[in-house]
Amino acid sequence: MSIFKEDGHWNHLKFEDAIAKMQELSLLQFSHFDENEITISLHSMVSEWLRIRLDKSSQPTFLAAAIFHLEYHLLSIGNSDHKTRLEGQAHLDTIWRGVERFNLRDDFLDPCITFGNFYRDQGRHKDAESMYKRALAGYEKVWGREHPSTLVAVNNLGNLYTDQGRHKDAEMMYNRALAGKENAWGPEHTSTLNTVNNLGLLYANQGRHQDAEMMYNRALAGYEKALAPDHTSTLDIANNLGLLYAAQGRHKDAEMMYNRALAGFEKTLGPEHASTLNAVNNLGDLYKSQGRLKDAAMMYNREMAGKEIT
């Protein structure tokens, strides 16, 4: 992009003129645009032609620039519309073929995590696992087994295996991440507690209620101390405990946790926030299971009204 600079400053007119000429020659295509942005991409045939024509020694340099631009782009689009995410996926698929061809896999560990997260969100679990494992192997080699970046990759693999129902693999990854985080940061660090909560969720999904409760209570106490009783992370754990108690038929305990979560979310996020309305819905489900239909209807009506406003 340096060719569009003059005296070290960006020249937007020069850029627009080049874009217009390249569009006339059908070298570029406009995917979509609105008042705030224009999305420009190379046609796949043009892109392939450029790869063939480029000097082999310069291709890794351009590929590296493309990888870091794409990493920033994927982080910036977040949960955007389906079309935008599909475009990002197409770019990622194309770029990674170049990484394989030039054997640059160990040079882009942080982007591997970003790309793995993106593939996971897209439901492409095999590709996500490949990215996470490459990042993990690279971090272990460069930083060691207990470096924070290494443990992030381990935890992400645990999340992926949980998505796939691979409970044994997920538990192994979470326990490794937990041991590493406890050693690196201590048992009450928020990152440690995040993995504790992940283990609680995993145990709850397996019906291991006693193990899940132990993890949730540890996470709850830790977040109350490290953050605050009304912090959203603390309230999420309270809600998780409510779900666990409800699954066990411990209605009184479940109601207490749901009401705590609801009061906290109302105070922190407002009465119509999605987290608040989720707590309302959970209370409605609990009352319904107890035959308290009037109370359940009141909760469901409140949830509906809140969603209509938002």
Sequence letter at residue 231:
H
pLDDT at 210 over 90: yes
Over residues 244-253, the pLDDT tens digits come to: 999 999 999 9
Least confident range of 89-98, 141-150, 233-242: 89-98
Query: Is position 2 within any domain?
Result: yes
Main-chain dihedrals φ then ψ at residue 166, nearest 5 degrees? -90, 75
Answer whether residue 230 is part of any domain.
no
Give the model confidence (pLDDT) of 48-61 as tens digits.
777 777 777 777 88
Is 6 a member of any domain? yes
Residue 44: predicted pLDDT: 73
Between CA 134 and CA 142 the distance in angstroms is 12
pLDDT tens digit string along 83-97?
A: 778 878 888 888 877
* Domain assignment of residue 171, yes or no: no
- Tell me whether residue 232 is in a domain: no
Report pLDDT for 257: 98
pLDDT, mean of residues 10-38: 79
Domain residues for 1?
A: 1-53
Which runs of E-coded beta strand occur in the chain? 5-6, 9-10, 28-33, 38-42
* Phi then psi dihedrals of residue 9, to 5 deg: -115, 145
CA distance 113 to 104: 15
Domain contains 3? yes
Q: Answer yes or no: pTM beyond 0.75.
A: yes
Asked, for residue 197, whether it belongs to a domain, the answer is no
Is 46 a member of any domain?
yes
Domain tally for the chain?
Answer: 1
Give the position of tokens 């749901």: 258
Paired with 30 in beta bridges are 40
**Contact (CB, 8 A) for 259 and 245:** no
Report the percentage of the chain scoring pLDDT > 70.
94
**Confidence check: pLDDT of 105 > 60:** no
Q: Are strands 38-42 and 9-10 parallel, antiparallel or unpaired?
A: unpaired
Residue 60's pLDDT is 80
For residue 57, what pLDDT is reported? 78
